[in-house]
C-alpha cells in the first residue's frame, strides 16, 4: 500500500477537496465498520468479560477472576480438543490444494460444463446435518458402505467413529468434502481473471504444464489462494457441525474440538463463563495466526508494487 | 486460458476428458447420491440397517409429500428468501464500499481497521449468542426478520470486506491514478471504474453469502421464536426427534433446501465470465 | 393447500393481533418425535375446540435446539407454556425463578390425589411448578423368536438367570444386548438400573444430589457387576459409533436380542419384527433391595415471564383431565399420570404400568436427576467404561473431580 497517489492534479481550495483522500475512505468504511462494531466487536468484548465470571447463562453472576482459565489449563479435554484442532488445521489445508486441481480440471468450455460446475458445487450447499449423516453411514462398521464393499473381499476396517484413535480423522474427511467444493469456487473465480496474454506469452517461451502453473498462473491466483486458505483455517477452527452430528465429540471426548467443547459447556453444561474462556483462547489462537498472515500479505504487496 | 482448452488437444484426449467428466462427477457426488437415495427410502428400511442396499420400496413420493404435509415448508422457503436477499444486498453494498476504502487509500489506522474486520471473523460465533440476543431485545427487533437480517449483514460484512479489499488491491492501480489526475471524483471512480471490475468477485461473494445465510441455522434459532417467520433450516430441524429422527424426511427436506443455493450458483456463473470479459477489455 | 391456508392464517393473525381481541396462547415445545408431534397436534386441536376463544400459537423445536433456545426465550420474550421435564431439570429453572408456581392448579383440580406418582417429581420445597402429561417405564425390549431360537423359554427375573440367558444367546450366535452410546444417554439407563438394584433408591438419590463420592465402594460395586457383562461380550461391538436409533438394525436383523429402553422404541420396529417383540423388567440383583424404577416424566410449565398466564392455567387444567391424558398418553405409547385415565391396551403399556405400580420408589433418569455438567461427564465415563472396563479407576476419579467441582468436597 505504498501506492497512494498524490493529491489530484488541480487542487481546489475547499477543505473537502484537499482532504478527500482521507475523508472519502472514512466515509466508505464508516457504515460497514459501524454495523460490524455494534453486532460483532462489542459482543466479542462482552464475551471476553464473561470469561472472568461464573454464570449459568441466566441468574446470578459471580466474578471469579482467572479461575476459569486456571480450570481450563488443568482440563485434559481442553488439551485434547486443542490437539484435535491442530489436526483439523493441518489436514484441512488439503482442501485448497484439491480445490485448485478440481477447478483446473473443470475450467474448460465443453458442452454442459456449467451444469457440471454447479453439481460439483453441491456438497457446499447441502446441509451439514445430512453430510454428517451420510458419512456416518459410510463408516458404519456393520451396515456401512465401506464395510459392505470390504466384506466380500475378506477385509475389515477399524470402526472409525467408535475408535478414539480414528474418530477425528473420520470427521475431518467428511469436512474436506464440502470445504473442497468451497475452495473450488474461489479458484474458478480466480482462474477467470488470469491474464490470458501472459499465459500465451509464457507458452511461446516454451513453458508448459507444471512449470506454467507454478511460475505464471499461481502467482496470479494469489488472491484466491489467500482467501481459500483463510476460509479453510476459519472453517477448521470453527468447525463443529460435523463433530456435533457425527460423534458429539466422542467417543469420550477423543474427537472433541474447541468450538464444540465451548458450545457443549455453554448449552448443555450450563457453564457460560467457562465456555467464554474457551472461546477467548480459541479467538486468541486464531488472531495470532491471522496477524502473522496479514503481515505477510502486506509485505508481499509492498514488494510487488 | 489455463489449462489449455481441451479443444486444442488430440481427439483421444478430448474423448478421455468427455468420458472422465461424468465419471468423476459421479464419484464426487457419491455422498450426494446417497442423500438422494435416502430421501427415497422408507423408515423401515433404515431401521433394518439397509442404508446402501436396494430399498424394499421406493418412497420418494411418500417422503416428499410427508415433508410438505408435516410442515409448512413453502412458507419456510419464503421466509428464507425474505431473510437472505436483503442481508446479501446489504452486505455486498457495505463491503464494496469498505473494501474500496481500505484498498485504494492509505491513512492512519488503515491497518488496524482492516485487522479488526478480519479478527472479528475468527471468533467462534456461538459465543456471541447471549450478547447478540440481548442486543436485539434492546433494539426491539428480537423475534422479527430484522434481527437475523441485520445481524447477518453485520457479521458477513467482516468476511466480505476482507474479500473485496483483497480483490480491489489486485486491480491495476494505474486506472485509479489516471482517473484521479483527470479530476474524477472518488465516488465516480468507485462507481464507474471499480465496481465494473469487481463484478466476478461480487458474483462469487453473492453465491457464497447466499449459501452461508441461507444455510445458517444457529442465528435464526437464537433470534427467532415464532414459527411464522422461521427460515427453512430451522423449520427442517423439527424432523429430528428427541429419540427418533426421520432420516429419510430429513434428507428429502435438505434436498429441497439446497436447491435455491445451487440454482443461484448456476445463474451466477455467467457473471463470473462477464466479469472476465470486462476486465480484459478495460485492463 | 395447507401452505395457502397458513399464509392466509398468518395475515389474519397479524390483523387480529393488532386489534387486540384474540386470546393468544403461545406454546413452545420440544416434542419433535413423530408420535409426540401427533399427540401435541391432537391436544391443541382438542383444546381449541373446547375453548374457541383461545388461539394457540405453537412453536415446535427439535430437542437439542430447544435446549439452546430455551434460556433465551425464558428470559427475553417468554411464551405462555413450554414442555419440559420434571425432576432436577425442572428444579434448575425453578431455582432461577423462571418457572411459575402452579400449586393453585394442583389444588383446584385435586391433582395430589389424581396424580400421586408424579407429585414428588413436580415439586420443589412443597410447591408444584408443572403439570405432567405422560410418563413411562424402562425395561428390556426383546425378540421372543430369537429367545426361542436360543432355547430360552422364560424371561430372567434375577441376575444369575440373566447371565445364563446371555450365554445361551451367545452360544446360538446372537449378541445378547444392542446399544448405541453415541448420544450417551442409553448407557445411563444401565447405570441407573444397576445402581438401583444393587444399592437402592436412597443411595441413588444421594449420588444424584452429589452427596456421595463416585469413588465410593458401593459405586465401584455397580461397575464390577456391569463389567461382568462388558467383559462377557454381552453388548454389540463399536457402540459409540451408533446413535440409539442406528443400533436398532442389529435387533431388527436378528443379530442382537434385546435393548434396554423406553416405549418410544416400539414404533421403530418394522411391522414383522414388532409382532415378536416382548417386554420384561430389569432383573433383581439383590433380594434385600426393593424394586425401584426409572420413570421419566414429561410436563407443561408456565414461564414466570409469560404474558397470558390465565389461559396457560386453563390449558394446564385441561391437560390434567383423565380423558385428555388417556388420549395423549395413548398416542405417545406412554402412561397417563392421572389414575382415572385408562392405560392403552397393549402389552408394553400394560407391562410398564404394572411394573411401576409395584415399584417402591421411582427416579427420573440419570441426566434428569443430577447436575447437567456432572451428567455429561458421568455418561462419557459410562461410554468409556463400556469400551475399556480396565480404565474404571481413572474414569471414576474423573467423574468424582467433576462432582467435587459442582457439589464441593466431602
| % of chain B residues with pLDDT over 70 | 95
- From chain A, the residues in CB contact with B89 under 8 A are none
- Among A43, A176, A212, most B C-beta atoms within 10 A, so best to mutate, is A43
- From chain A, the residues in CB contact with B18 under 8 A are 110
pLDDT band, residue B1 (cuts 50/70/90):
low
pLDDT band, residue B88 (cuts 50/70/90):
very high
A 50-79 residues with CB < 8 A to C: 56-59, 71
Residue contacts between A and B (CB atoms, under 8 Å): 306
According to the model, what pLDDT value does residue C320 have?
96
Q: What is the CATH number of the domain that holds C389?
A: 3.40.190.10
| A127/B258 Cβ within 8 A | yes
Indicate if C129 and C143 belong to the same structural domain: no
Collapsing DSSP to helix, strand or coil, C169 comes out as helix
* φ, ψ of residue C28 in degrees (nearest 5): -105, 130
Collapsing DSSP to helix, strand or coil, B215 comes out as helix
Number of domains in chain C: 2
According to the model, what pLDDT value does residue B254 have?
87
According to the model, what pLDDT value does residue A7 have?
46
According to the model, what pLDDT value does residue C273 have?
93
- Does B15 contact A at CB distance below 8 Å? no
Indicate if C171 and C212 belong to the same structural domain: yes
According to the model, what pLDDT value does residue A179 have?
95
| Closest chain C C-alpha to A258 CA, distance in angstroms | 16
Indicate if C334 and C287 belong to the same structural domain: no
| B98/A29 Cβ within 8 A | yes
According to the model, what pLDDT value does residue A124 have?
87
**Hey, what CATH topology would domain B72-281 get?**
MetI-like fold (1.10.3720)
pLDDT band, residue B275 (cuts 50/70/90):
low
Indicate if C163 and C224 belong to the same structural domain: yes
Q: Which of C56, C362, C84 has the alpha carbon at shortest distance from B226?
A: C56
| A160/C92 Cβ within 8 A | no
Comparison of pLDDT for B154 and A121, the residue scoring more: B154
Residue of B nearest to C183 (CA): B243
Cell, residue A79:
488439551
Contacts of A among chains (3+ CB pairs under 8 A): B, C
Mean pLDDT by 10 residues, chain C (410 residues): 53 48 87 89 95 94 86 88 93 92 96 92 95 95 95 94 96 96 94 97 95 96 97 95 91 95 89 93 95 95 95 96 95 93 91 90 92 93 96 96 93
According to the model, what pLDDT value does residue A210 have?
85
| A193/B276 Cβ within 8 A | yes
Indicate if C245 and C357 belong to the same structural domain: no
Sign of the C-alpha dihedral computed for residues A16, A22, A24 and A26 taken in this order: negative
According to the model, what pLDDT value does residue A227 have?
84
SS (H, E, C) C266-306: HHHCCHHHHCCEEEECCCECCCCCCCEEECCEEEEECECCC
Segments forming the whole domain that contains residue C10:
2-135+297-363
According to the model, what pLDDT value does residue C248 have?
92
* φ, ψ of residue C279 in degrees (nearest 5): -135, 140
Q: Span B196-217, mean pLDDT?
A: 89
Comparison of pLDDT for C257 and B197, the residue scoring more: C257
Indicate if C125 and C80 belong to the same structural domain: yes
Indicate if C35 and C107 belong to the same structural domain: yes
The domains of chain B are located at 6-67, 72-281
Q: Span B190-196, mean pLDDT?
A: 90
Indicate if C92 and C234 belong to the same structural domain: no
According to the model, what pLDDT value does residue A1 have?
39
Q: Span B186-197, mean pLDDT?
A: 90
Q: Which of C109, C184, C228 has the alpha carbon at shortest distance from C372?
A: C184
Q: Which of A232, A239, A280 has the alpha carbon at shortest distance from A256?
A: A239
Mean pLDDT by 10 residues, chain A (305 residues): 45 69 88 95 93 87 93 94 93 95 90 86 83 88 86 83 93 94 89 82 84 87 86 82 87 92 87 92 83 73 51
- Among A170, A189, A212, A299, most B C-beta atoms within 10 A, so best to mutate, is A189
Indicate if C55 and C17 belong to the same structural domain: yes
Contact C25, C311 (CB under 8 A): yes
According to the model, what pLDDT value does residue A284 have?
87
**Hey, what CATH topology would domain A77-304 get?**
MetI-like fold (1.10.3720)
According to the model, what pLDDT value does residue C256 have?
96
According to the model, what pLDDT value does residue C108 have?
95
Indicate if C255 and C381 belong to the same structural domain: yes
Indicate if C336 and C356 belong to the same structural domain: yes
Residue B237 pLDDT more than 70? yes
Residue B278 pLDDT more than 70? no
| A145/B51 Cβ within 8 A | yes
- From chain B, the residues in CB contact with A98 under 8 A are none
According to the model, what pLDDT value does residue B206 have?
92
Indicate if C53 and C197 belong to the same structural domain: no
The domains of chain A are located at 18-50, 77-304
Where is C25: in which H helix or E strand? strand C23-29
B 176-215 residues with CB < 8 A to A: 176-177, 180-183, 186-187, 190, 200-201, 203-204, 207-208, 211, 214-215
Amino acid at each position: 500500500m505504498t501506492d497512494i497517489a498524490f493529491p489530484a492534479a488541480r487542487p481546489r481550495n475547499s477543505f473537502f477537496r484537499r482532504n478527500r483522500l482521507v475523508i472519502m475512505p472514512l466515509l466508505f468504511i464508516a457504515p460497514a465498520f459501524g454495523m460490524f462494531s455494534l453486532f460483532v466487536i462489542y459482543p466479542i468484548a462482552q464475551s471476553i468479560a464473561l470469561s472472568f465470571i461464573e454464570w449459568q447463562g441466566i441468574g446470578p453472576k459471580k466474578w471469579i477472576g482467572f479461575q476459569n482459565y486456571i480450570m481450563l489449563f488443568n482440563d485434559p479435554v481442553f488439551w485434547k480438543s486443542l490437539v484435535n484442532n491442530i489436526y483439523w488445521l493441518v489436514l484441512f489445508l488439503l482442501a485448497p490444494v484439491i480445490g485448485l486441481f478440481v477447478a483446473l480440471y473443470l475450467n474448460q468450455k465443453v458442452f454442459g460444463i456449467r451444469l457440471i460446475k454447479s453439481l460439483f458445487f453441491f456438497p457446499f450447499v447441502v446441509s451439514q446435518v445430512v453430510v454428517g449423516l451420510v458419512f456416518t453411514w459410510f463408516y458404519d462398521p456393520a451396515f456401512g458402505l465401506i464395510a459392505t464393499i470390504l466384506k466380500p473381499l475378506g477385509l475389515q476396517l477399524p470402526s472409525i467413529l467408535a475408535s478414539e484413535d480414528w474418530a477425528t480423522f473420520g470427521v475431518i474427511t467428511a469436512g474436506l468434502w464440502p470445504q473442497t467444493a468451497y475452495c473450488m469456487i474461489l479458484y474458478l473465480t480466480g482462474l477467470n481473471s488470469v491474464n490470458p496474454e501472459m499465459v500465451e506469452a509464457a507458452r511461446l517461451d516454451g513453458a508448459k504444464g507444471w512449470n506454467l502453473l507454478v511460475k505464471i498462473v499461481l502467482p496470479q491466483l494469489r488472491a484466491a489462494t489467500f482467501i481459500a486458505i483463510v476460509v479453510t483455517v476459519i472453517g477448521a477452527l470453527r468447525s463443529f457441525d460435523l463433530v456435533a452430528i457425527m460423534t458429539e465429540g466422542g467417543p469420550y471426548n477423543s474427537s472433541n474440538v474447541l468450538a464444540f467443547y465451548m458450545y457443549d459447556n455453554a448449552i448443555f453444561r450450563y457453564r457460560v463463563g467457562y465456555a467464554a474462556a474457551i472461546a477467548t483462547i480459541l479467538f486468541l489462537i486464531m488472531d495470532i495466526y491471522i496477524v502473522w498472515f496479514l503481515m505477510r500479505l502486506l509485505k508481499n504487496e509492498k514488494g510487488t508494487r | 486460458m489455463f489449462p489449455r482448452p481441451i479443444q486444442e488437444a488430440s481427439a483421444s484426449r478430448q474423448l478421455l476428458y468427455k468420458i472422465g467428466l461424468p465419471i468423476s462427477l459421479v464419484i464426487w457426488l457419491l455422498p450426494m447420491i446417497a442423500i438422494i437415495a435416502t430421501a427415497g427410502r422408507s423408515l423401515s428400511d433404515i431401521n433394518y440397517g439397509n442404508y446402501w442396499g436396494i430399498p424394499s420400496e421406493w418412497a420418494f413420493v411418500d417422503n416428499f409429500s410427508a415433508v410438505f404435509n408435516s410442515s409448512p415448508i413453502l412458507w419456510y422457503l419464503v421466509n428464507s428468501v425474505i431473510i437472505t436477499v436483503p442481508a446479501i444486498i446489504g452486505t455486498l453494498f457495505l463491503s464494496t464500499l469498505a473494501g474500496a476504502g481500505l484498498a485504494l487509500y492509505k491513512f492512519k489506522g488503515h491497518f488496524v481497521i482492516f485487522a479488526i474486520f478480519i479478527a472479528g471473523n475468527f471468533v467462534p460465533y456461538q459465543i456471541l449468542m447471549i450478547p447478540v440476543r440481548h442486543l436485539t431485545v434492546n433494539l426491539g427487533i428480537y423475534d422479527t426478520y430484522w434481527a437475523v437480517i441485520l445481524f447477518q449483514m453485520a457479521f458477513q460484512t467482516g468476511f466480505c470486506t476482507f474479500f473485496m479489499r483483497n480483490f480491489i488491491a489486485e486491480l491495476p492501480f494505474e486506472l485509479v491514478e489516471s482517473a484521479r489526475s483527470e479530476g474524477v471524483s472518488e465516488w465516480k471512480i468507485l462507481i464507474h471504474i471499480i465496481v465494473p471490475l469487481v463484478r466476478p468477485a461480487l458474483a462469487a461473494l453473492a453465491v457464497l453469502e447466499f449459501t452461508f445465510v441461507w444455510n445458517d441455522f444457529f442465528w435464526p434459532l437464537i433470534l427467532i421464536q415464532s414459527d411464522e417467520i422461521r427460515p427453512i433450516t430451522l423449520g427442517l430441524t423439527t424432523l429430528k426427534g428427541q429419540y427418533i429422527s426421520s432420516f429419510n424426511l430429513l434428507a428429502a427436506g435438505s434436498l429441497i433446501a439446497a436447491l435455491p443455493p445451487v440454482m443461484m450458483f448456476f445463474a451466477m456463473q455467467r457473471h463470473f465470465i462477464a466479469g472476465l470479459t470486462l476486465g480484459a477489455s478495460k485492463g | 393447500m395447507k401452505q395457502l391456508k397458513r399464509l392466509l392464517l398468518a395475515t389474519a393473525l397479524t390483523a387480529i393481533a393488532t386489534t387486540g381481541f384474540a386470546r393468544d396462547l403461545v406454546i413452545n415445545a420440544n416434542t419433535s418425535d413423530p408420535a409426540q408431534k401427533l399427540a401435541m397436534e391432537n391436544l391443541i386441536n382438542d383444546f381449541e375446540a373446547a375453548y374457541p376463544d383461545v388461539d394457540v400459537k405453537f412453536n415446535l423445536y427439535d430437542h437439542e435446539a430447544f435446549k439452546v433456545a430455551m434460556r433465551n426465550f425464558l428470559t427475553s420474550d417468554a411464551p405462555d407454556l413450554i414442555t419440559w421435564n420434571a425432576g432436577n431439570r425442572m428444579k434448575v429453572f425453578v431455582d432461577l425463578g423462571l418457572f411459575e408456581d402452579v400449586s393453585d392448579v394442583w389444588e383446584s383440580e385435586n391433582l395430589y390425589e389424581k396424580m400421586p406418582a408424579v407429585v414428588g417429581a413436580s415439586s420443589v420445597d412443597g410447591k408444584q411448578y408443572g403439570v405432567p402429561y405422560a410418563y413411562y417405564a424402562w425395561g428390556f425390549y426383546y425378540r421372543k423368536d430369537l429367545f426361542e431360537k436360543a432355547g430360552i423359554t422364560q424371561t430372567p427375573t434375577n441376575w444369575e438367570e440373566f447371565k445364563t440367558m446371555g450365554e445361551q444367546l451367545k452360544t446360538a450366535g446372537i449378541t445378547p444386548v444392542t446399544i448405541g452410546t453415541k448420544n450417551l444417554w442409553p448407557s445411563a439407563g444401565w447405570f441407573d438400573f444397576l445402581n438401583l438394584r444393587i444399592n437402592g433408591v436412597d443411595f441413588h438419590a444421594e449420588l444424584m444430589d452429589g452427596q456421595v463420592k463416585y469413588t465410593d465402594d458401593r459405586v465401584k460395586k455397580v461397575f464390577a457387576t456391569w463389567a461382568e457383562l462388558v467383559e462377557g461380550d454381552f453388548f454389540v461391538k463399536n457402540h459409540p459409533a451408533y446413535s440409539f436409533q442406528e443400533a436398532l438394525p442389529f435387533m431388527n436383523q436378528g443379530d442382537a436380542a434385546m435393548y434396554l429402553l423406553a416405549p418410544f422404541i416400539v414404533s421403530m420396529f418394522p411391522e414383522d419384527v414388532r409382532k415378536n417383540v416382548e417386554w420384561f423388567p430389569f432383573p433383581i440383583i439383590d433380594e434385600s433391595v426393593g424394586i425401584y424404577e426409572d420413570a421419566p416424566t414429561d410436563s407443561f410449565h408456565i414461564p414466570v415471564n409469560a404474558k397470558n398466564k390465565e389461559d396457560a392455567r386453563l390449558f394446564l387444567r385441561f391437560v390434567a383431565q383423565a380423558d385428555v391424558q388417556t388420549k395423549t398418553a395413548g398416542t405417545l405409547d406412554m402412561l397417563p399420570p392421572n389414575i382415572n385415565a385408562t392405560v392403552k391396551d397393549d402389552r408394553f403399556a400394560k407391562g410398564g404400568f404394572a411394573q411401576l405400580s409395584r415399584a417402591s420408589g421411582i427416579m427420573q433418569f440419570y441426566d434428569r436427576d443430577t447436575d447437567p455438567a456432572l451428567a455429561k461427564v458421568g455418561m462419557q465415563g459410562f461410554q468409556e467404561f463400556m469400551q475399556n472396563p480396565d480404565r474404571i479407576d481413572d474414569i471414576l476419579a474423573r467423574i468424582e473431580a467433576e462432582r467435587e467441582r459442582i457439589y464441593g468436597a466431602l
